């Protein structure tokens, strides 16, 4: 596992932090422990890639409050919530707030390792999608105003003639702009261009 991928372990119980850290590090993971959610947020700007394991009941900021604050700060990191037997309603609330998974104590070693591996894989996928989005946005920025207008028409499903009429130019000129758009966006086909537009938020995926 890459050293840049870190499991952030938040629990006010030092024994739990130590035992879980030992277990996950033995499985080849890099672990960083915090005695409170506040301490975790102090380090938030340096989180990088990874996932979070948090107890649901903690002094100060609880597990559910942690999830709400992560959402508020737009920190997209998978969170696994650890719960006691009587905390299942809280765990359900955490899931509604976006928790990746919740695990009841006492938990099986293989169960927690599998959950963390799944969360890390999810975070990796999110990172790949975000990188793709950034690339598409960068390509969009290279389009001229007219090329962007033609792109908008294309992703709206309009034929060249309609785009030409709306923009007051000839269909042949639209074809030229269309070729420029496809080239600059590095789109292999119109469906590929539409997929890029949806990814970048140019058009809603439900349209």
Q: How far apart are CA 164 and CA 198, in angstroms?
A: 23
Beta bridge partners of 55: 82
Same domain for 147 and 100, yes or no, is no
Dig out the tokens for 178 from the structure.
Answer: 């269309």
Residue 2 has pLDDT above 60, yes or no: no
Do 93 and 191 lie in one domain? The reply is no
Q: What is the pLDDT, as a whole number, of residue 206? A: 44
Question: What is the pLDDT at residue 45?
Answer: 58
For position 32, what pLDDT does the model report?
A: 92
Same domain, 68 and 162: no
Range of the domain at 189: 142-200
Distance CA 101, CA 90 (A): 12
Confidence band for 34, pLDDT divided at 50, 70 and 90 = very high
**Residue 81 main-chain phi, psi, to 5 deg:** -100, 130
| pLDDT tens-digit readout, 51-78 | 899 988 888 898 889 999 988 887 888 9
Q: What pLDDT, on a 0 to 100 scale, did the predictor assign at position 207?
A: 43
Q: Are residues 76 and 11 in the same domain?
A: yes
Instruction: Give the whole-number percent of the chain exceeding pLDDT 70.
Output: 91
The number of distinct structural domains making up the chain is 2
| Range from 21-30, 77-86, 146-155 carrying the lowest mean pLDDT | 77-86
Same domain, 184 and 106: no
CATH number at residue 66: 3.40.50.2300
Give the CATH number, domain containing residue 188.
1.10.10.10
Whether residue 75 is contained in a domain is answered as: yes
Same domain, 72 and 166: no
Residue 65 sits in the same domain as residue 19: yes
Q: What is the pLDDT of residue 54?
A: 93
**pTM, to two decimals:** 0.65
Q: Where are the beta strands (DSSP E) in the chain?
A: 5-10, 30-34, 49-55, 79-83, 101-104
* pLDDT value of position 133: 86
Q: Is the pLDDT of residue 86 over 80?
A: no
Q: Is residue 152 domain-shared with residue 97, that is, in the same domain?
A: no
Residue written as token pair 């102090």:
42
Whole-number pLDDT of residue 1: 42
* Average pLDDT over the chain, rounded to an integer: 86
| Tens-place pLDDT, residues 100-130 | 888 888 888 999 999 999 988 887 777 777 7
**CA Rg, the chain, in Å?**
23
User: Within a domain: residue 135?
Assistant: no
Q: In this predicted structure, what is the pLDDT of residue 4?
A: 61
Do 40 and 97 belong together in one domain? yes
Report how far Cα 50 is from the mean position of its chain's Cα atoms: 11
Instruction: Indicate whether 98 and 149 sit together in one domain.
Output: no
Is the residue at 133 inside a domain? no
Residues 60 and 154 in one domain: no
DSSP letter at 79 equals E
């Amino acid at each position: 596992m890459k050293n840049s991928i870190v499991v952030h372990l938040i629990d006010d119980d030092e024994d739990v932090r130590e035992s879980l850290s030992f277990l996950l590090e033995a499985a080849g993971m890099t672990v960083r422990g915090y005695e409170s959610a506040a301490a975790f947020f102090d380090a938030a700007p340096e989180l990088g890639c990874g996932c979070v394991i948090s107890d649901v009941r903690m002094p100060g900021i609880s597990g559910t409050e942690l999830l709400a604050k992560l959402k508020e700060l737009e920190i997209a990191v998978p969170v696994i919530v650890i719960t006691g037997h009587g905390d299942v309603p809280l765990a359900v609330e955490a899931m509604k707030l976006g928790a990746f998974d919740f695990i009841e104590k006492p938990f099986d070693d293989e169960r927690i390792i599998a959950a963390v591996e799944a969360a890390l894989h999810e975070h990796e996928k999110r990172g790949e999608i975000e990188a793709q989005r950034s690339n598409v946005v960068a390509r969009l920025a290279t389009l001229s105003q007219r090329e962007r207008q033609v792109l908008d028409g294309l992703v709206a499903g309009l034929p060249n003639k309609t785009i030409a009429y709306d923009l007051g130019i000839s269909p042949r000129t639209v074809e030229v702009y269309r070729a420029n758009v496809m080239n600059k966006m590095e789109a292999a086909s119109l469906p590929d261009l539409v997929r890029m537009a949806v990814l970048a938020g140019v058009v809603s995926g439900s349209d």
